[in-house]
Structure formats: C-alpha cells, structure tokens
Structure 1
Amino acid sequence: MLPQLISGEFQNQDVLPSGIHDSTFAEFVSRYVFNEHRNWLFQGFKQACLELREAGCRQVYVGGSFVTSKMMPSDWDAIWDPANVDPARLDELFYIGNLEAERVLKFRGDLMLGKARDVATCPHIALFSTTRSGFPTGLIRLKLNQIEMLNS
C-alpha cells in the first residue's frame, strides 16, 4: 500500500515520503491517474512499460512531479532496471541518453536506464530522491506484470 503524500517544498505540492515504495499498477492508477491529462500521460507510460516488459524488464521506478499532488504535471520520469532485458528486443530509444526529446514525444515522459545493479548506488535514483530544492522525496517501484498492465 502506498503511503500518504506529505507536505513538501516541491512547488507547493505534496510528495511521497522519502524511500522506495512498492505499488501495483492498479494502486498506482488509483492514486495518480485522477484526471484526463494524467490519464493521457499514463497511457504513454503504460506503452513504455509494455515495451520494456516484452524485452524482459521486470521493474521500473517512477519519480518526479507525476507522483506528487500536482494536478497537471508536464510529464513523468522513470528509471528502468536493465536486469534480464534482451537488448535485441528493445528499441534503441530506451538506451541512448541524448534521445530524451524523442522518448518524451513517443511516451509523454522520460525513461532513464538504471545503470547500477544495486538501487542504492544508481545515480538516477539519487537524482529523483530529492526535489529541485533538495527536499527529500520518495519513488515508486512498479513490478511489470503484463496482465495487470493490460488491465489498467
């Protein structure tokens, strides 16, 4: 179960408490897909997750303004775990760091490759564990269960 959002310094929005919080897709949708704009963003996120899962990815970490109380986030930000991924089954768009604009255009958000086997040492996890002003915030870990994703 996801924790309640807490008051934060992130553009006057509530944020997740610090740490990694596990969530099902259903719980994630229930909490964060609460208006038409967020649903539009989520559909791009879901497509990216389906493509990652098809290539063998088992989990992603979601951070940034999408997992706050912000009504109209501009996008979503996620980090994907490369363990078990077959690179031949995944579009290079997922691997090449300087293709952010293309990823945002296709998926309505950005995915970064998790470059460490241990979550604690992944630089992207550290990046999304604080707001721009340095306020500690949390991330959501989603297991990529294909049946659950298709039903969300």
Structure 2
Amino acid sequence: MHFHTYNIIVVSMIPAFTSISGSPWDVLPAGIHHATFEEIEAVCGCNDRRRALLAGLIDAAVALAKAGCSTIYLDGSFVTAKPIPGDYDACWVPDGVTETLLDPVFKDFSNGRAAQKARFGGEFFPSSTLEGGSGRTFLDFFQVEKHTGEKKGIIEISLMTDALVLRRLAHDIQ
C-alpha cells in the first residue's frame, strides 16, 4: 500500500491587517495590494455576510469586465477587520470600457447609489472621478483611513486575468 501526501501552500498577496491609532478596525497596510477573488475569499470571506458581499462584488466585476474594464479596486469595511461589514466600496478603471456595454447601474449615483447597493451590495465609482469632499480621485481617496486621515491599503483586482472572472465570462458566452 502506498500513501501520497501533498503539501499545499497557499500564498496570499493580501497582507495581514494592521492597527492605526484612532481607527475602529484594523486595516490593510498602506499601498495597493494585488489579489485574486480566490485570495479575497480566503482572507475576507469568513462569514455569511462577507460571502454575500463577495458574491455581489464578483457579479459586478463580471459585468464590468463584459464592458472592457480591466481593473477594480476594493475598499470599505469589507477590507478591514470589522466582523460584519456593512458593504464595500469599489472603483473601476474606465480606460478601455465600451460605454454602450457598461451596465447603466454603474452610472446611477441617485439615492446614495441605492441601485448599486441593492444589486451588488456595494458602491462603484470610476477610479478617476473626483470624490466631492476631498477633491481626490476615488483611487486616492480610498487609500485614506476616514477616521484618522492616515494612509491605508486597498486591493487591486485584475479582471482580465482573474480565473473566477474568466470562468464566469466563458460560461456567459456559452
């Protein structure tokens, strides 16, 4: 009888959360951290609420990829140590997006982005759009911890190389 053993090592590009004095939750260290949806699920999908938010985020990512979006950035309480996040915030790179293929929900900012939240569980902004209160692009705005003003990290997801997104796109084509 022969037994085989395997040593599976999972390496995540998402670093451990870190404390910022004055922040209610630990956050990602400053910087943009590239990750796949599989890695995000491993780190941030630890309960039913988080898994439901992740499912909505993946649906949105597939819809954006269909329009030609190559990259999204993930922020909000979802990418903190908050046990039960309210939602997530995301921004998407508009370069290469075919406007006619973009789902209209991504352009609907009415009622506090209620349609986006209802459909996907989070909010989406073009990454180059200026956030009204700070005057920063959303990509830069997301990298500031809102309670302290300190730098914090966000997650970058490449939609054109993420295995989960590619599988969903291939399935939708069939």
Q: Which TM-score band (shorter chain)?
A: 0.7 to 0.9
CA drift of 1:9 comes to 4.2
Aligned-pair identity in percent equals: 32
Counterpart Cα distance in 2 of 1:2 and 1:68: 12
Question: Which residue number corresponds to residue 88 of structure 1?
Answer: 100
Superposition TM-score, scaled by structure 1 size: 0.87
Within 5 Å, give how 1:1-150 maps onto structure 2.
1-9=13-21, 11-98=23-110, 100-115=113-128, 123-133=137-147, 134-144=149-159, 145=161, 147-149=163-165
1:101–1:14 distance in 2 versus 1, CA, 3 Å: same
Larger helix fraction of residues: 1
Larger RCO, structures 1/2 (Cα 8 Å, 6+ apart) = 1
1:95–1:34 distance in 2 versus 1, CA, 3 Å: same
Q: Give the total of aligned pairs.
A: 148
8 Å Cα contact 2:23/2:145 also seen in 1: no
Larger radius of gyration: 2
Unaligned runs of 5+ in 2: 1-12, 130-134, 169-174
2:164 alignment partner, SS class: helix
2:143 is aligned with what amino acid? S
1:6 alignment partner, SS class: coil
8 Å Cα contact 1:114/1:122 also seen in 2: no
1:14 alignment partner, SS class: coil
1:15–1:43 distance in 2 versus 1, CA, 3 Å: same
CA drift of 1:2 comes to 1.5
